[in-house]
């Protein structure tokens, strides 16, 4: 047995290490097929990046959100790397059964560590196996997050971990028996009962058991290594290696998710100048090799855990988009096409083959066939990604927020959309109307710009307008960016008027733009029309910079002499999409402003005592987190604190809230597209809200307000919702409480006394 174990183990070790080394080189070569990224964007602040990797791994900051799953996975992950010396120990035990590691082999702290982590690794993988069985994809509907994952590969990996963990435990116990441990001691604080039982066996039997378990441990470990080396697209195994570089190279060196701003369009690793694009610039992604190397690394890192899928609003309402399946499809396609690309293959923009027949002579037929598949195409076209998958995305960011290995799904989806919109002109027809309205009228509704100021006529106080009542914004503290919805959509205008009235009551000096401003371009950019976003954005940046008193040079850039610090350029917005674009994306265009959401300012005014909610608003309220306020900009507390300050209301959270909040269905330009597949996302969200039997559904976004109101009204008509239920913005709720009610004598409402001084 000893001789057989030695021979088999050594052969497997040599073959496994050689194949694994080759696989690592293959993966590196695959990654190099991707496009470069702008210099410094993925390698800045290496110290912070290293700290982020350590924090995310040792702290399991994403996984631990999932309770017992996170704890179990922590022990499995830590055990995999920290118990590597047990392989060395097992090799030594093949030659000498009672062999231990030099120096640390009989050191109690080391043995305690091995005993504890080894045992917890076994328990951890057993927990994960049970959870996987309880979440099998043969459940009805789409309930399992593992639907579409490779179950055979997962079973193989789980079996390997379980076998190796049991072998580590048994070898440690056999070590104690061979060394005649006859009493409890720290080194065997868990395994002593097994040590005691084994102590009754003779030495020859104990030695044979050591050879058996040592050989089994080594064989299992290196059969696993050989298997994954031969299958480099096995994400459930490779993620344990690739997760570290993928996290290190993430967008934000300090650990933030790849949400908020979209990345500028690049070609060959350089931003595209849309005023004078290069002849060889590529617009968006139409072939897998046009993704950046970070994108290809993302695809290979996917562990198929399905957390993104479980949170995706499109998947949860019967649409074809699963972020997990999309990434898996791109990974499988990239790996299958790689031999063709590594041989010099590839297509030009005109569809001509770059490589000669001689270069492609040795390429496998399967790789050549994969190269002919369109990246975006229907099932009949043998496409890798179906167009319905691409256009189902609301860019809500739930996938990015939940991914434990920091895959940047939204960036990749938008990159593919960009090619479809800009080159193929292939996108939902309704979105075309929105784009035309933006081009011609500067707003998605196509209304005249003079209508942007119509809401002012409904106020009984004056609001200064830049360029009309005041020359610039130096005379006020805030520019209130009303936005297209806030100025032009009837339901959103109620929020606009309520917020303006609250600022007036609190004595805050603010002003608005004069009506010449354009849409920020959020929907155009997320649809994929980057040039239109750039055009709208540049016009707005120039208008804003001028409004803040900054002078422009001949190139349209702010002169150094007139440049003001960011803190002097304060903007408040009621629309999270405007907030995100103004604050996170306009710096890409030369506009650097301090932008806050209206709920943040209102919370501050309440805390300062400048707004006093005194009138009770009776009933149950549930708050819906807008995706672009919550996940994209991490603003969760201010709306809830405002609600808490209003007397009378009782806040009930929906099951999916904050980081796990569920989209209203309007993001990613979906506001302007029909929802023809599956259940409407806004109906799914409202059904969740109605399960609490609320009197008020509140939110803090005009898009969400429209979507939720439409759904609630539909359910009222169908008799599924009580007639008294309201959908309101947090600002409207606060205004109702700040105002004092009319007295019985019929006196008109009066407002709480305004504070004479503005907010400091």
Three-state secondary structure string covering 487-550:
HHCHHHHHHHHHHHHHHHHHCCCEEECCCCCCCCCHHHHHHCCHHHHHHHHHHHHHHHHHHCCC
Q: Which two tokens stand for residue 456?
A: 């002012």
Q: Contact at 8 Å (CB) between 649 and 671? A: no
pTM assigned to the model: 0.93
375 vs 386: CA distance, rounded Å: 9
Q: Cα angle at 709 between 703 and 714, to 5 degrees? A: 135
At 142 the pLDDT is 66
| Complete DSSP assignment for 212-239 | HHHHHHHHHHHHHHHHHHH-TT-HHHHH
How many residues does this entry show for the chain?
760
- Which of these, 87, 89, 113, lies nearest to 101 by C-alpha position? 89
397 vs 367: CA distance, rounded Å: 33
| Complete DSSP assignment for 168-220 | HHHHHHHHHHHTT--S--GGGTTTHHHHHHHTTS-HHHHHHHHHHHHHHHHHH
12 vs 237: CA distance, rounded Å: 18
At 218 the pLDDT is 97
481 vs 43: CA distance, rounded Å: 35
Q: How far is Cα of residue 77 from the mean position of the Cα atoms in its chain?
A: 22
Q: How many helices (H) and strands (E) does the chain have?
A: 28, 12
At 564 the pLDDT is 86
What are 696's strand-pairing partners? Answer: 621, 726
Low-confidence ranges of the chain (pLDDT < 70): 138-142, 349-351, 741-760
173 vs 120: CA distance, rounded Å: 15
Q: Contact at 8 Å (CB) between 340 and 371? A: yes
Q: Which two tokens stand for residue 552?
A: 């422009």
DSSP letter assigned to residue 582: I
453 vs 463: CA distance, rounded Å: 10
Q: 């942007």: which residue's tokens?
A: 452
Q: Contact at 8 Å (CB) between 151 and 138? A: no
What are 740's strand-pairing partners? Answer: 750
3-state secondary structure at position 740: strand
| Complete DSSP assignment for 611-675 | S---S---EEEEE---TTTTTTT---HHHHHHHHHSTTEEE---SS-GGG----S-TTTGGGS--
């Amino acid at each position: 047995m000893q001789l057989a174990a030695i021979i088999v183990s050594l052969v497997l070790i040599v073959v496994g290490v050689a194949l694994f080394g080759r696989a690592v080189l293959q993966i590196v070569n695959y990654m190099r097929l991707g496009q470069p990224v702008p210099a410094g964007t993925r390698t800045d602040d290496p110290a912070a990046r290293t700290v982020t990797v350590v924090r995310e791994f040792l702290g399991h900051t994403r996984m631990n959100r999932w309770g017992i799953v996170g704890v179990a996975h922590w022990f499995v992950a830590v055990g995999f790397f920290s118990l590597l010396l047990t392989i060395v120990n097992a090799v030594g035990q093949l030659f000498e059964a009672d062999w231990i590691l030099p120096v640390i082999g009989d050191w109690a702290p080391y043995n305690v560590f091995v005993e504890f982590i080894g045992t917890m690794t076994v328990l951890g993988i057993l927990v994960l196996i049970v959870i996987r069985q309880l979440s099998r994809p043969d459940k009805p509907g789409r309930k399992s997050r593992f639907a579409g994952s490779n179950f055979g590969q997962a079973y193989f990996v789980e079996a390997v971990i379980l076998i190796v963990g049991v072998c580590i435990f048994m070898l440690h116990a056999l070590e104690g028996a061979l060394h005649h441990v006859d009493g409890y001691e720290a080194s065997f604080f868990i395994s002593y009962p097994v040590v005691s039982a084994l102590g009754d066996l003779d030495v020859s039997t104990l030695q044979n058991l050591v050879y058996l378990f040592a050989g089994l441990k080594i064989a299992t470990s290196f059969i696993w290594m050989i298997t994954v080396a031969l299958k480099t697209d096995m994400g459930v195994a490779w993620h344990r290696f690739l997760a570290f570089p993928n996290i290190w190279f993430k967008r934000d060196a300090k650990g933030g998710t790849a949400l908020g701003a979209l990345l500028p369009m690049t070609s060959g690793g350089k931003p595209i100048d849309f005023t004078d694009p290069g002849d060889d610039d590529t617009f968006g992604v139409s072939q897998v090799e046009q993704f950046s190397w970070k994108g290809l690394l993302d695809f290979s890192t996917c562990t198929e855990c399905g957390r993104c899928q479980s949170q995706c609003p499109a998947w949860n309402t019967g649409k074809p988009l699963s972020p997990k399946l999309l990434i898996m499809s791109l990974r499988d396609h990239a790996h299958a096409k790689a031999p063709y690309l590594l041989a010099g293959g590839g297509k030009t923009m005109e569809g001509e083959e770059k490589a000669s027949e001689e270069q492609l002579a040795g390429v496998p037929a399967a790789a050549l066939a994969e190269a002919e598949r369109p990246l975006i195409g229907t099932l009949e076209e043998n496409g890798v990604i179906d167009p319905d998958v691409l256009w189902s995305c609301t860019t809500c960011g739930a996938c990015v927020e939940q991914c434990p290995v920091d895959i940047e799904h939204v960036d990749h989806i938008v990159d593919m959309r960009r090619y479809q919109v800009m080159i193929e002109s292939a996108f939902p027809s309704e979105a075309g109307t929105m784009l035309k309205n933006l081009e011609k009228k500067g707003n998605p509704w196509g209304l005249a710009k003079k209508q942007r100021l119509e809401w002012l006529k409904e106020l009984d106080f004056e609001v200064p307008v830049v360029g009309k009542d005041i020359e610039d914004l130096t005379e006020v503290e805030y520019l209130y960016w009303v936005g297209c919805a806030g100025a032009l959509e009837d339901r959103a205008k109620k929020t606009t008027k309520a917020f303006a009235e609250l600022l007036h009551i609190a004595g805050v000096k603010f002003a608005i733009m004069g009506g010449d401003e354009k849409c920020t371009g959020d929907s155009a950019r997320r649809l994929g029309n980057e040039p239109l976003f750039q055009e709208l954005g540049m016009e707005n940046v120039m208008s804003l910079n001028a409004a803040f008193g900054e002078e422009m040079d001949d190139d349209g850039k702010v002169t150094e002499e007139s440049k003001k610090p960011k803190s002097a350029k304060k903007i408040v917005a009621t629309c999270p999409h405007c907030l995100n674009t103004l604050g996170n994306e306009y710096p890409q265009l030369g506009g650097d402003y301090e932008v806050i959401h209206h709920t943040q300012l209102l919370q501050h005014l309440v805390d300062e005592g400048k707004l006093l909610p005194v009138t009770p608003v009776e009933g149950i309220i549930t708050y819906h987190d807008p995706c672009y306020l919550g996940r994209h900009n991490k603003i969760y507390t201010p709306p809830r604190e405002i609600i808490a300050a209003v007397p009378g209301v009782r806040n009930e959270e929906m099951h999916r809230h904050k980081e796990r909040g569920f989209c209203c269905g309007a993001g990613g330009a979906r506001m302007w597209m029909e929802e023809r597949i599956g259940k409407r996302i806004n109906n799914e969200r409202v059904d969740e809200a109605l399960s609490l039997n609320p009197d008020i559904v509140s939110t803090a976004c005009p898009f969400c307000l429209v979507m939720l109101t439409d759904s609630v009204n539909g359910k009222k008509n169908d008799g599924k919702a009580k007639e008294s239920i309201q959908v309101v913005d947090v600002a409207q709720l606060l205004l109702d409480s700040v105002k004092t009610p009319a007295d019985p004598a019929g006196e008109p409402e009066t407002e709480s006394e305004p504070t004479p001084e503005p907010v400091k």
